[in-house]
Amino acid sequence: MKTLKLTEFGNPILRLKAKQIPLKTLRTREFKSLIKDMIHTMRKTGGVGLAAPQIGKSIRLAVMEIRETPDRPKLKSRGPIAIINPKIKKNLNSKVSDWEGCLSFPGVRGKVQRPKSIMVEYYNEEVEKMAEKATGLWARIFQHEIDHLNGIGCIDKMNTKTMMTTTEFRVRILKKKI
């Protein structure tokens, strides 16, 4: 497995609308190994999601996984999953504000308002069409990653007054001693 190089904001690929992926591509060995490399890269960099434009590919693919990490203690694990050609079908609840960061905008955290629950559709890596209701952090990750596929970063939606560096975030929000 390879650790892929991350693109950062400033790179125009992060502002493109990524292309739909033809379903026949999903069965190829290249595509399956791309998903494995993306999951490996997401874990290595401590992210909960990674979209293809963030590794330099403008296609509608992202991987997601919730794990307990030092910055995200006491979380229920979920995934990893690959989401292909995902679509938000419906926003179900009123918006809630919570902390977000992005591997393509390193060193920054801030609060972003998003619907608490969504109905989402996507293809998984077995080429099955999935429809699910996502809530809480899982819904937030879906929305953050799908935004990436549309050229949108969480920094576009961030309440700039709440922005802080990851160092300040660790001290002030996670109450860590550094």
Question: Site residues (CB under 5 A) for Zn ion?
Answer: 102
Shortest distance (Å) from residue 147 CB to Zn ion: 8
Question: What's the rounded Cα separation, in Å, for the pair 61 and 170?
Answer: 30
End-to-end C-alpha distance for the chain, whole angstroms: 33
Shortest distance (Å) from residue 36 CB to Zn ion: 20
Q: Which is nearer to Zn ion, 102 or 149 (CB)?
A: 102
Yes or no: say if 109 and 166 are a contact pair by the CB < 8 Å rule: yes
| 145 in catalytic set | yes
Q: Where does 13-164 have alpha helices with state H?
A: 29-45, 136-149, 154-157
Beta bridge partners of 74: none
Shortest distance (Å) from residue 109 CB to Zn ion: 12
The residue type of 3 is T
Q: Which is nearer to Zn ion, 42 or 102 (CB)?
A: 102
Q: Which residue is nearest to Zn ion (CB)?
A: 102
Catalytic residue among 68, 100, 121, 145: 145
Q: Which is nearer to Zn ion, 35 or 100 (CB)?
A: 100
DSSP state of 147: H
Q: Which residues are catalytic?
A: 145
